[in-house]
A and B are shown apart, each in its own frame.
Chain A
Amino acid sequence: MATAAIKVWPASWDRKQRSSATMVTASVVLVLLLWLLAIPLSWAPEPIGNNAQFFAEGTRVTVELTAVAALAGVLIGVLAALGKTSKLPPLRWIASAYIWVIRGTPLLVQVLFVFFALPVIIPALQMSDFTSACVALSFNVGAYNAEAIRAGLLAVPKGQMEAARSLGLSTFYTFIDVTFPQAFKISLPPLVNNIVALLKDSSLAYAIGVVELTNVGNRIQAATFQPLPILLTSASLYLLLTTVMTQFSNAVERRFDVEGRQS
């Protein structure tokens, strides 16, 4: 699939230009999709056509949930990975405990916990259904990202750090300029895996009443009793979103591929 995408662009373009072009195109497609989705859906027969606007809104909420949780989740993942590889034992303990709890409990329980149970412990943390879902999804994907990023950090040869430090670079710049870019490249495929899974897992926000794509489908189905066209539409929309996302992430991978292993 990666190579199929690349051949769209003129052969004279180099790797960077092609990957930029793919990233821009995928972003534009996504925005157009979210903006104009209701139009093609409205051409479909009942019960899809008359609910086109409703489907479009659900898709938008799904993308919003995914985008927020993906960004926050990568940040949390980096912090937790740093914690787990830290020299300071307390940081290692905190990061390990976080990953242990999150990976060891179902996401559905986490979503319900943030929405219903957290305000019981700390009343100030009474959040809307959408915010609660974002928080639960962020911390969930963050734990999986942490292990992906940690694997990347450990895969960077020790000599890289020694070279950076012996040039006088501080630990901060060693991380920013040398270790992290190399670790991120290695972590990218498993990170993409996690984010594709996140897009689909965002459907669990349905349990606390967030009106995202799955919830929309369910509500229409409850009113019309026509599961087949509705579930087919929901599934197709998810597939469309993951396809655009995969194209984007493939382009990011190619951008980091300075050795041309994938071209």
Chain B
Amino acid sequence: MSKVATPDASGPLITVDKVNKHFGPAHVLHDVTTHFNAGEVTVILGASGSGKSTLLRMLNRLERHDSGRIVVDGIEVDDDLKHLDALRAEVGMVFQQFNLFPHLTVLENVTLAPRRVRKTPRAQAEVKALELLDRVGLKAHSHKHPFALSGGQQQRVAIARSLAMEPRVLLFDEPTSALDPEMVKEVLDVMKGLAGSGMTMIVVTHEMGFAREVSDRVLFLDKGTVAADAPPEQFFGAQTSDRIRAFLGQISK
């Protein structure tokens, strides 16, 4: 499974060019231009309402951008259904609320997409799923339904479910925000393991420890613009921006 990413010679894996987004009168993203490289772990930080989740959700078109351009691994992110299906098979997503399918067992949750989208035979998909569940420490729970698992366990299943599609990039939308404190670590540990295996990850989070330790790059959004883009040592080090110092002060309280 561990896909050691080779830096893409032809350019970044994801480019975001002058993207704007409005929700009614609110202008949530302002001419955002950035890119994400293969094999990199990027953490997106920002106050609530800064547009960080919106930016993440636009990368696999759960939100549409009003103007500008997003290209993921050569796929134009637009309304073309062929583009959308190709895009979503390559981009995995882990949600704050886990969003496991409650009527299916853990094993069925993980095998559903490979069987339907990649047409993997059931037996093969199950072998692969059990491997992934083993990797997130939940092989013994494969026959259970999601309601019987704790939040941390559910989130680990959700990660395994995304990995089953062998995505080129994994998006995390506040993956630990809905968890009890004692379960945050088990999920972060799985994410650290993934980062170590070379997975390209873009993570919206408030876990400063994770950002500092694991990320290659911190993107700070403020009022819909990229206010900082720096390696974590620099971002958390001698910070010159008052706005960012204030934000970090708020978080550490």
Contacts and interface: CB of A to CB of B under 8 A. Distances in A.
A181 B97 CA distance: 20
B103 A159 contact: no
Contact of A167 (B97, B147, B161): B161
A165 B62 contact: yes
Nearest to B90: A168
Contacts of B89: 168
B221 interface: no
B214 to A, nearest CB: 23
A229 B123 CA distance: 61
Given A258-B145, A258-B147, A259-B147, A169 B99 contact: no
A177 B147 contact: no
A43 interface: no
A186 to B, nearest CB: 11
A178 B99 CA distance: 11
B117 interface: yes
Contacts of B85: 168, 170
B99 A177 contact: no
A167 B95 contact: no
B101 A163 contact: yes
Contacts of A159: 95, 97, 99
A167 B162 contact: yes
A258 B93 contact: no
B103 A167 contact: no
Interface string B106-148: 0000001100110000000000000000000000000001010
A51 interface: no
Contact of B95 (A162, A182, A258): A162
A182 B147 CA distance: 14
A262 interface: no
Contacts of B113: 167-169
Query: How big is chain B's contact interface, by range?
Result: 20 to 34
Given A163-B95, A258-B147, A259-B147, A168 B103 contact: no
A166 B72 CA distance: 14
Given A166-B62, A168-B117, A169-B113, A259 B145 contact: yes
A169 B103 contact: no
A261 B95 CA distance: 26
A204 B145 CA distance: 45
A258 B92 CA distance: 27
A60 B116 CA distance: 42
Contact of A168 (B88, B95, B102, B158): B88
Interface of A: 157, 159-160, 162-170, 173, 177-178, 181-182, 185, 256, 258-259
9 contacts: A160-B99, A163-B95, A163-B158, A164-B101, A169-B113, A169-B116, A170-B116, A170-B117, A258-B102
Given A163-B100, A170-B117, 5 more contacts: A166-B62, A168-B165, A178-B101, A185-B103, A259-B102
The 10 A-B pairs of least Cβ separation, nearest first, read A168-B89, A163-B99, A167-B113, A166-B93, A159-B99, A168-B88, A168-B117, A173-B116, A258-B145, A259-B147
